[in-house]
Amino acid sequence: MTQHFIVIGNPIAHSKSPSIHHAFAQQAGLAIRYARQYCPDDAESFRAVVDAFFNGGGIGANVTVPFKQIAYEYCLEDGALSDHARVAGAVNTLAQRDGKLYGDNTDGQGLVNDMQHQGWILKDKTVAIIGAGGAARGTILPLIQAGIKSLTLANRTVSKAETLVKALGEQSATVAHCPIDTCATDALTGHFDIIINATSIGLSGERLPLSEHLTCAHAYDMMYGRELPFLTHFADSGAKTSDGYGMLIGQAALSFALWTGADIDVTAARAQLT
């Protein structure tokens, strides 16, 4: 029997999720239909789309911009949340458990899995994240669970980074026990083992206001699909770099496993997709 899945977003036509999940299904020997679902940008419309999908027999839904926080609020009010979703304050994966909506956040876990797949060591490493929005928020708990030594959160508006760190510390004892510093983006200096760009600024071709005294061994941009100035900047100084395409596949594999129980070979799937 064919299982039905969707990804909900606005815009959504560009999404690569259908091709990724159909590759997973082929690997797992499952019959699925995975479709893009456009939704007007408001909470009422989002809830209507989700309800119609699951009431019609849908198995699982991914959630992308701008609905991740709306999905979180919906699950908080009328369903259940994973620990990762609760700490992130955002949901990218929806399912049903015991007749109730269940929300998870696989973004940060996908990021960590991709880094580890590439051989990047996270345990006892110094990490900096640029950005204090939803993308950054979703990565902090998985990074800390992976054993990083310390974290610095840099953002153009320092107060936003400070508010985020305080909120995460209140929600998770794991987060509270990791040293986390905050600073302005242009004040981020020194050497880090890993620097992560969790902003979308690179998609417009703009450059972050990075200090000339900032260096790293590894640089990761969560965006993908084009040349990214952030990665070019650090590659020029000898750092190993990666865009976020592997994270996209990694978070999708975790969603697929939640829905179907299938353990996906991400390496084989990526080879098939590229």
User: By percentage, how much of the chain surpasses pLDDT 70?
Assistant: 100
Catalytic site includes residue 123? no
Q: pLDDT at residue 241 above 90?
A: yes
Q: What number is the average pLDDT over the span 65-93?
A: 93
Catalytic residue among 68, 149, 160, 166: 68
Q: What's the confidence (pLDDT) of residue 274?
A: 76
Q: What's the confidence (pLDDT) of residue 65?
A: 83
Q: pLDDT at residue 97 above 90?
A: yes
Q: What number is the average pLDDT over the span 53-68?
A: 94
Question: What are phi and psi for residue 32, nearest 5 degrees?
Answer: -135, 165
Q: What is the pTM of this model?
A: 0.88
Q: pLDDT at residue 203 above 80?
A: no
Between CA 189 and CA 195 the distance in angstroms is 11
Question: What are phi and psi for residue 241, nearest 5 degrees?
Answer: -130, 160
Q: What's the confidence (pLDDT) of residue 226?
A: 82
Q: pLDDT at residue 171 above 90?
A: no
Q: What's the confidence (pLDDT) of residue 54?
A: 98
Q: What's the confidence (pLDDT) of residue 133?
A: 85
Query: pLDDT-based confidence at 248, cuts 50/70/90?
Result: very high
Is the four-CA dihedral 144, 150, 155, 157 of positive or negative sign? Answer: positive
Tokens representing 128 are 């900096």
Q: What's the confidence (pLDDT) of residue 211?
A: 95
Q: pLDDT at residue 204 above 80?
A: no
Q: What's the confidence (pLDDT) of residue 2?
A: 97
Mean pLDDT, the chain, rounded, equals 94
Q: pLDDT at residue 175 above 90?
A: no
Q: pLDDT at residue 81 above 90?
A: yes
Q: What's the confidence (pLDDT) of residue 227?
A: 87
Q: What number is the average pLDDT over the span 155-166?
A: 95
Q: pLDDT at residue 134 above 90?
A: no
